[in-house]
Amino acid sequence: MTTYLITGANRGIGLSLVKEALKDSNNTVVATVRDKSKTSELSTISNKNLHIIELDTSQTLEEIKASFSVLDSIVPNGVDTVVQNAGIAEGEDLQLKVFSKHVEKIFHVNFLGSVKVYEALEPYWLSKDNGVQKKFFFISSIFGSITYPLPLRPVGYGGSKAAINYFVSSVALFGSKSTNELFKNSVVSAIHPGLVTTDMGGPVTRMPEFQGIPSLTPEESAALLVSTFSKSDQSVNGKFIGPEGELLPI
């Protein structure tokens, strides 16, 4: 029995994660979307264990805290597993040029947004001991690896994911020294979901540089990820892992 909070659940991997987590009727899922009035498939899911709330990770910390203030009433026992999935990869010239405005926007949403989501969720994630190990997964990307051989290096996107990988190792170190037993025993990891045929990943699979690299459907990726979330233990705390929990190079 796990209470999940999954950000960026309107489409793509986030939407599939929600559907996968709900396959276990003991789970509760809080799914976040930017605009409830614009959700399509998610709003058609009829399940008493699903709660949809609004969250935009580009907003201020105070606004993000306000988005989460409803959690006390909808999940009074707090959240067990957080999946910070919301992210963007838009606007970058992958081949030729670096534009600071793209780097700034992507870092703002992907990296600062992830840090703010973590900070705003702490009271709901680490407050209630219901006997379930507390876990926080940040959806990263192999593009965030500095040492993995990659055919392209998008500075804004890859840099924002590298920063998330670093943040994860920092939070795990803080946790290891914490006097809060929930935090001390928690699992905080960055996870690459695979190359996934979503609005974001689909165009990448069609690039000449990525021919021959296997891809996953959002459903396949979500099935691997949810299984990895549930079986992950402190051996992957602070680490960067792949969809099946395998260690990846930072």
Ligand X SMILES: NC(=O)c1ccc[n+]([C@@H]2O[C@H](COP(=O)([O-])OP(=O)(O)OC[C@H]3O[C@@H](n4cnc5c(N)ncnc54)[C@H](OP(=O)(O)O)[C@@H]3O)[C@@H](O)[C@H]2O)c1
- Give the residues lining the site for ligand X (CB under 6 A): 8, 10-14, 34, 55-58, 85-89, 109, 139, 141, 192-193, 195-196, 198-201
* Closer Cβ to ligand X, 17 or 182, answer by number: 17
CB of 9 to ligand X, least distance (A): 6
CB of 161 to ligand X, least distance (A): 7
Q: Can you name the residues that pair with 84 across neighbouring β-strands?
A: 138
CB of 123 to ligand X, least distance (A): 20
* Closer Cβ to ligand X, 68 or 183, answer by number: 68
Those residues with Cβ within 8 angstroms of residue 27's Cβ, 6 or more apart along the chain or in another chain: 1, 2, 3, 4, 21, 49
The sheet that has 28-33: what strands, in order across it? 50-54, 28-33, 3-6, 81-84, 135-139, 187-191, 240-241
* Closer Cβ to ligand X, 12 or 159, answer by number: 12
Radius of gyration of the chain measured on its C-alpha atoms: 17
Smallest CA-to-CA distance from 249 within 163, 161, 146 is with 146
CB of 55 to ligand X, least distance (A): 6
CB of 208 to ligand X, least distance (A): 17
Those residues with Cβ within 8 angstroms of residue 70's Cβ, 6 or more apart along the chain or in another chain: 53
Q: How far apart are CA 220 and CA 71, in angstroms?
A: 29
* Closer Cβ to ligand X, 89 or 171, answer by number: 89
In the chain, beta strands by DSSP E:
3-6, 28-33, 50-54, 81-84, 135-139, 187-191, 240-241
* Closer Cβ to ligand X, 14 or 238, answer by number: 14
CB of 224 to ligand X, least distance (A): 13
* Closer Cβ to ligand X, 182 or 196, answer by number: 196
CB of 79 to ligand X, least distance (A): 17
Q: Amino acid letter at 198?
A: T
* Closer Cβ to ligand X, 141 or 186, answer by number: 141
Residue 113 token pair: 């947004």
Q: How far apart are CA 207 and CA 114, in angstroms?
A: 28
